[in-house]
Amino acid sequence: MNNEYDLIVVGGGVLGTFHAYHAIKKGLKVALLEKDGKPQGATVRNFGQVVPSGMDSKWQKYGRESLRIYKKIQKKFDISVQQEGSIYIASNAEEVQLLEELRDINIKNAYPSELLTKAECLTRYVGLRNDYVKAGLYFPEEVKVEPRIMINKLHGYLKELGLHIYMNQTALECDTLKNGVQVYTSQHLLLSSSKVIICNGHNFKTLYPKLFAESDLVVSKLQMMQTKPQPNYRLPSSVLTGLSIRRYEAFKECTSYPKIKEREDQNAFQNRWGVHVLFKQALDGSIILGDSHEYAPAGKIDDLGMDLNMDIDNFIIEEAKKIFDLPTYEIQSRWYGLYAQCKNSDIFQHTVDRDIHIVTGIGGKGMTGSAGFAKQNINSIFNLEHV
């Protein structure tokens, strides 16, 4: 086997995989290294919502490009993409005002959205509580995926395009050569390439641990759960609620946002634990619910512990019941995800010796923003902007 490549990508999650995708599309010879038998990190521990509507103006551009990429791939190869749209449900006058302002922002950005009345929301969404909803803002272009299915199917598609994927291969060393980089793995595999891109999620203990410990990276622990399949019930799109309106970055660009946030009780349970309530129906009819946010520095991830805080899960369920009367709230599974993000920037990028590029800390933007961001980043790293 010829172990020489144009690019080695370390990390088989959504961010690393889309870097590999765009490199392959540019005609480069690419290898992808994944430390597990299949991805186990944030890529498979999220809702599977692709929602550019929730992003600030910079990242919405990446998210909208991601939508085009997901849909393009889906036409050629089934990776579980479903275009059902997303809706934000407002529960009071302040949240309605934010929806109206976000709609105006998106009109300027030429991103389609539709402001729905209370009656229209109640008609479209069976089980939505009359005493909760005041209005909704619907984004028809947005999609959902099955996260535990999508990434593995995407790997299968990329193999057909010529990607070399090495599973159960932890990259232990990256050594700069006179021309290029050499990568040594846990299974004694030695690969060389012109460049390496490291998309290591929250794995900060193997490569460059001192660099990460001294950075502004933090890790967020998010709790999520999944109901049993809902009998004879269909949720027509992903649903984001009032707490999401008060948290997502897109709304921070709204004129009213600062004053509305000032009036919030920062000691309230939902603010202490970063809770916002989302609903997304999976292929088996179950509903994924969540989530929460607990933080620790990159060098102290173990402080987050391995336990699920049942007070958080119970709070999410009780809040969800105030929003939707689902046929069942019986839970079939619970889990947490660990997402790396930066305190002071929107993503972590660092170059080691010219040809080793670290890209991580994308936070909750990974499923939505990775495809579009990776396209731009591959062009930048390989100076292919005009190719």
The set of residues, in sequence order, having a beta carbon less than 8 Å from that of 113 and lying 6+ positions away, is 53, 102, 103, 106, 107, 137, 138, 139, 140
Q: Is the pLDDT of residue 384 over 80?
A: no
- Catalogue the long-range contacts made by 273-277 (C-beta closer than 8 Å, 24 or more residues apart): 273/309, 273/312, 273/315, 274/220, 274/247, 275/243, 275/312, 275/315, 275/316, 275/319, 276/240, 276/241, 276/243, 276/244, 276/246, 276/247, 277/241, 277/243, 277/244, 277/316, 277/319, 277/320, 277/323
Rounded distance, CA 18 to CA 30, Å? 12
Long-range CB contacts for residues 36-39, cutoff 8 Å, separation at least 24 = 36/12, 36/167, 36/168, 37/167, 37/168, 38/12, 38/151, 38/152, 38/167, 39/12, 39/13, 39/151, 39/152
Short-list 362, 222, 219, 225, CA closest to 303: 219
Query: Does residue 82 come out as left (phi exceeding 0), alpha (psi in the -120 to 50 range) or beta?
Result: beta
**CA torsion angle 238 239 243 247 (round to 10):** 30
Residue 323, SS3? coil
CA separation for the pair 130, 53 (Å, rounded): 25
Q: What is the pLDDT of residues 44-66, one digit of tens each?
A: 999 999 999 999 999 999 999 99
pLDDT, one tens digit per residue, over 267-307 is 999 999 999 999 999 999 999 999 999 999 999 999 999 99
For residue 135, give both structure tokens. 């209005």
Distance of CA 139 to the CA centre of its chain: 18
pLDDT at position 19 over 50? yes
**Residue 1: pLDDT above 90?**
no
Residue 374 phi, psi (nearest 5): -60, -35
Distance of CA 209 to the CA centre of its chain: 24
Residue carrying structure tokens 């009656």: 119
pTM of the model: 0.96
Yes or no: say if 204 and 217 are a contact pair by the CB < 8 Å rule.
yes
Gap between the Cα atoms of 148 and 48, Å rounded: 9
pLDDT of res. 133: 98
The stretch 352-378 carries a mean pLDDT of: 97
Cα 15 to Cα 19: distance, rounded to the nearest angstrom: 6
Residue 178: pLDDT band by 50, 70, 90 thresholds? Answer: confident
Task: State pLDDT tens for residues 180-236.
Answer: 999 999 999 999 999 999 999 999 999 999 999 999 999 999 999 999 999 999 999
129 versus 385: the higher-pLDDT residue is: 129
Q: Give the tens place of pLDDT for each residue, 105-163.
A: 999 999 999 999 999 999 999 999 999 999 999 999 999 999 999 999 999 999 999 99
Q: What is the mean pLDDT of residues 346-366?
A: 96
Closest listed residue to residue 71, CA positions, set 23, 19, 13, 141:
141
Task: Round to whole Å and give the CA distance between 342 and 344.
Answer: 6
- What's the pLDDT at 387? 41
Predicted pLDDT of residue 354: 92
Rounded CA separation 148/10 (Å) = 19
- Alpha-carbon distances of 19 from 107, 118, 146, 341, 375, rounded to whole Å: 31, 42, 20, 18, 7
Q: What is the pLDDT of residue 386?
A: 46
Residue-level pLDDT at 3: 87
What is the bridge-based pairing of β-strands 30-33 and 4-10?
parallel
DSSP state of 299: G
pLDDT value at 94 more than 50: yes
For residue 18, pLDDT over 50 is answered with yes
Give 335's strand partners: 224
